[in-house]
């Protein structure tokens, strides 16, 4: 009987420990998300950035040929920009022998470095909105587009959003908007608030159940982007 009681006590302690960990995790995630969704403190920063409007010329928007290859499609867009070429995404898919959809940050950095071998590729993630908006403005001012990983409406799986790579090639701080060459094949101009939400995946209910599972467990990097210098 004594052994049974001890096992029960041990089990209860284990359950209590798990509950405490879950509460700590939820609180941490809430505080973590505040960093990404709070735009009030950015107003003073936006005032200091000049010029207010930058949009890069000669960005050739390309559409990914099928679902899951937004990463290499984004690489295609920036490769065409820097190398003055006009490749389609399928050309780089063949070049790098990509046989399945999806790509990770290591793949992206390798492809970007291969296509822009004279440039420095800098990957950043989980920084604040302030850091990101300064990086974007500085990069555009230097005539360099930015590769971002964010949430976007997925035409292959409507009405859901998907984890998606695209190119930022403009900013309008007068209107507080970001200009994107979406890898689904179109130009879009979205508000900074929408951009921050999509970069931080805060609108979880817009994603498919499997991706919601990952987001609720904070398994996706937020404010994830590549600078080309």
* pLDDT per residue as tens digits for the range 134-179: 999 999 999 999 999 999 999 988 899 999 999 999 999 999 999 9
Work out how many domains the chain is built from and give that number: 2
| Predicted local distance difference test score (pLDDT) of residue 220 | 84
Regarding whether 19 and 48 lie in a shared domain, the answer is: no
| Predicted local distance difference test score (pLDDT) of residue 161 | 93
Residue 204 is given by DSSP the state G
Regarding whether 66 and 13 lie in a shared domain, the answer is: no
> Is residue 83 within 8 Å of 197, Cβ to Cβ?
no
Q: Within a 10 A sphere around the Cβ of 76, how many other Cβ atoms?
A: 28
Regarding whether 110 and 5 lie in a shared domain, the answer is: no
User: How many Cα neighbours within 13 Å face the side chain of 196?
Assistant: 21
Average pLDDT in the 12-20 region? 46
Regarding whether 169 and 148 lie in a shared domain, the answer is: yes
Regarding whether 100 and 149 lie in a shared domain, the answer is: yes
| Predicted local distance difference test score (pLDDT) of residue 28 | 39
> Is residue 183 within 8 Å of 165, Cβ to Cβ?
yes
Regarding whether 68 and 9 lie in a shared domain, the answer is: no
Regarding whether 32 and 113 lie in a shared domain, the answer is: no
The boundaries of the domain holding residue 19 are 1-37
* pLDDT per residue as tens digits for the range 73-86: 999 999 999 999 99
Regarding whether 134 and 219 lie in a shared domain, the answer is: yes
Rounded Cα distance, 170 and 175, in Å: 12
Regarding whether 78 and 8 lie in a shared domain, the answer is: no
Regarding whether 106 and 32 lie in a shared domain, the answer is: no
Regarding whether 64 and 32 lie in a shared domain, the answer is: no
CATH number at residue 46: 3.90.70.10
Regarding whether 191 and 174 lie in a shared domain, the answer is: yes
């Amino acid at each position: 009987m004594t052994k049974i009681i001890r096992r029960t006590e041990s089990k209860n302690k284990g359950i209590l420990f798990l509950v405490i960990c879950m509460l700590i995790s939820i609180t941490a995630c809430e505080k973590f998300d505040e960093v990404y969704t709070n735009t009030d403190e950015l107003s003073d920063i936006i005032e200091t950035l000049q010029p207010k409007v930058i949009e890069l010329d000669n960005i050739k928007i390309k559409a990914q040929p099928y679902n899951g290859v937004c990463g290499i499609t984004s690489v295609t867009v920036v490769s065409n920009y820097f190398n003055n070429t006009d490749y389609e995404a399928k050309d780089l898919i063949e070049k790098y022998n990509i046989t399945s959809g999806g790509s990770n940050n290591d793949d992206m950095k390798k492809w970007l470095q291969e296509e822009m071998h004279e440039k420095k590729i800098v990957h950043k993630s989980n920084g604040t909105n302030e850091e990101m908006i300064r990086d974007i403005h500085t990069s555009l001012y230097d005539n360099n587009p930015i590769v971002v990983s964010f949430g976007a409406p997925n035409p292959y799986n409507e009405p859901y959003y998907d984890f998606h790579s695209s190119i930022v090639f403009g900013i309008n701080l007068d209107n507080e908007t970001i200009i994107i060459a979406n890898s689904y094949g179109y130009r879009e101009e979205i508000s900074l608030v929408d951009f921050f939400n999509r970069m931080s995946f805060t609108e979880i209910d817009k994603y498919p159940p499997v991706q919601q599972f990952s987001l609720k467990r904070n398994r996706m990097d937020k404010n994830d982007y590549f600078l080309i210098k």
